[in-house]
Amino acid sequence: MEQSHSFSSGKGRNDDLWYVDNYILLKDYYDRTISRVAARCVRKGNIAMEEYEHYGYILDLLEEISETGEYIVAHPQLYPYVEKKMAGGINALKKNLSEFKTELKNNASPDMIKQDKDELKKFKEALGAQDKSVDPTVGAGMSMDQVVEKLLHNTGQPVQPFAPRNPSPASKEVK
């Protein structure tokens, strides 16, 4: 009997079935990893899990679980296999997937979260992005003296060299 032949009500391929098996393995691995990390955080002085030095790995794992779950949900031909392999079937998978996505979104840095290509533009518009092309301080390296000189030059005022008004006592010569 060929493994990729059929299951329940449709044709299945081994690579499609792999997603279901991988989702189950990833979910189990995530649960075990969280338990271990929680124990390590307690041993390290009861630090918050977010402060754990390898917390990014947990987020990466959440992202992989989410991607795998999304693939399964997008392929209804896998649903009969999900019903056989997972307690609660596809509804349980969708519920768990929603929880994983929420957890990822709440804890991931903005650059980790997949966003549509116009998201940055929307943020800039919402925050009132300004045109920096006329800002004299744009570009690292322009000192405050250069900015003042440029402003004075642009307004037509004479540029005078800086001279301290009250010299410090240490700078006076002792005779």
Please give the Cα distance from 63 to 1 (Å, whole number). Answer: 35
Residue 21 covered by a domain = yes
Residue 29 covered by a domain = yes
pLDDT of residue 82: 93
Domain count, the chain: 1
CA–chain centroid gap for 135, Å, is 31
pLDDT of residue 3: 41
Residue 20 covered by a domain = yes
pLDDT of residue 108: 74
Residue 77 covered by a domain = yes
Q: For residue 27, how many other CB atoms are within 10 A of its CB?
A: 19
pLDDT of residue 7: 46
pLDDT of residue 124: 67
Residue 105 covered by a domain = yes
For residue 157, give the 3-state DSSP assignment: coil
Q: What are phi and psi of 11, to 5 degrees?
A: -85, 140
Least Cα distance to 99 among 111, 107, 87, 109 occurs for: 107
Q: Looking at residue 169, what DSSP letter applies?
A: G
Contact 77, 56 (CB under 8 A): no
Global confidence as pTM: 0.55
pLDDT of residue 158: 72
Please give the Cα distance from 166 to 28 (Å, whole number). Answer: 71
Enumerate residue ranges in the chain where pLDDT < 70. Answer: 1-14, 109-121, 123-124, 126-142, 159-175
Please give the Cα distance from 143 to 160 (Å, whole number). Answer: 16
Residue 146 covered by a domain = no
**Given its phi and psi angles, is residue 58 left (phi above 0), alpha (psi -120 to 50 degrees) or beta?**
alpha
Domain that holds residue 103: 10-116
Q: Characterize 6-16 residue by residue with b for buried, 16 or more Cβ atoms within 10 angstroms of its Cβ, and e for exposed.
A: ebeeeebeeeb
Residue 172 covered by a domain = no
Residue 145 covered by a domain = no
